[in-house]
Amino acid sequence: MTQALNHYQTALKLAPNDRVLLREYAETLQENDDLSKSLDVYEKLRELNPQDKEVSEKITFLKNKLGIVEIPSLYHQIPQSSAITRQDLAAIIGVKFYQYLPEPKNTPIIVDIGASWASKFIIRVTGNAIMDIYENHTFEPNRVITRAELAETFYRLINHLKSRNKKLIPQIPENKIMISDIPADNLYYYPAVQMVAYQLMELSPGKKFLPEAPVAGNEALRIADLLLNLIN
């Protein structure tokens, strides 16, 4: 199955709007239980041919399967963002990994997300301990995320996926990775090492991780898709 997915990804780089390839890729993703990515591909197919009733039915089916009734319109603005916020990151994880995030048994108490467009995703990711709620029960949805914080969040997500018996194999041995701008005893050091080990994030020249730098929306979405493709 992994070989087939790689084949379609390669073919679509050469012909990104080939509807036959896109449909076969979407079907293969669905067979591989990658429902979120399959939905993304079907939505692209609908953009190419809005009159295709079969594609519309597939989108409705997958949204119901994923528990996604509607993706807020502001979600589609994330790729244009030069610095995503905590609510943006919660939405990315909530949408892309919805099928792996069960409904929390106890709804977390969060006092500052009533007006957030991503509130339902914030509840889902905090309820599964992927992102934190602060001691005063705030989430600070509009605070900009740093690369270090993104690394910690995806590190938690990887551990969550492993706890659900998903196999994730690092691409680079941890002991081969050296990061020059995060001390080894820092809270974010090991998550940063893991991101490099799984080839989800890269080091800059001088082996720098740039932990305080903001994260662009298209970069965060790319990382989420890379992780989805690693799941077996």
Highest mean pLDDT among 4-18, 93-107, 109-123: 109-123
pLDDT tops 70 at residue 108: yes
16-33 residue pLDDT tens: 999 999 999 999 998 888
CB 218 within 8 A of CB 191: no
Mean pLDDT rounded to a whole number for the chain: 92
Residues 39 and 125 in one domain: no
Q: Once rounded to an integer, what is the mean pLDDT over residues 112-141?
A: 96
CB 99 within 8 A of CB 33: yes
What per-residue confidence (pLDDT) applies to 70?
65
What per-residue confidence (pLDDT) applies to 184?
95
Residues 195 and 99 in one domain: yes
CB 5 within 8 A of CB 229: yes
Place 203 in a pLDDT band, splitting at 50, 70 and 90: very high
* Number of domains the chain is built from: 2
**Comparing C-alpha atoms, which of 136, 95, 138 is closest to residue 116?**
138
What per-residue confidence (pLDDT) applies to 9?
87
* CA of residue 14 relative to chain centroid, distance: 25
Residues 47 and 87 in one domain: no
Residues 117 and 173 in one domain: yes
Q: How far is the C-alpha of 128 from the C-alpha of 108, rounded, in Å? A: 10
Residues 57 and 110 in one domain: no
Q: In terms of residue numbers, what domain contains 204?
A: 73-230
* CATH number, position 32: 1.25.40.10
Residues 16 and 113 in one domain: no
Residues 84 and 37 in one domain: no
Backbone angles phi, psi at 142, to 5 degrees: -95, 5
pLDDT tops 90 at residue 6: no
143-188 residue pLDDT tens: 999 999 999 999 999 999 999 999 999 999 999 999 999 999 999 9
Helix (H, G, I), strand (E, B) or coil at 10: helix
Residues 142 and 159 in one domain: yes
Report the alpha-carbon angle 71-77-80, nearest 5.
Answer: 150
Pick the last residue of a domain from 45, 66, 87.
66
Residues 61 and 107 in one domain: no
pLDDT tops 90 at residue 67: no
Residues 97 and 46 in one domain: no
Q: How far is the C-alpha of 231 from the C-alpha of 161, rounded, in Å? A: 8
Pick the last residue of a domain from 66, 94, 113.
66
The angle, 0 to 180 degrees and rounded to 10, between the axes of the packed helices 53-66 and 19-31 is 30
Q: How far is the C-alpha of 199 from the C-alpha of 28, rounded, in Å? A: 24
What per-residue confidence (pLDDT) applies to 1?
67
Place 66 in a pLDDT band, splitting at 50, 70 and 90: confident
Residues 22 and 133 in one domain: no
What per-residue confidence (pLDDT) applies to 5?
81
**Can you give the length of the chain in residues?**
232
Segment (H or E) for 99: none
Across 114-194, where does the E strand assignment appear? Answer: none
Residues 39 and 112 in one domain: no
CB 194 within 8 A of CB 151: yes
Place 68 in a pLDDT band, splitting at 50, 70 and 90: low
Pick the last residue of a domain from 66, 88, 111.
66
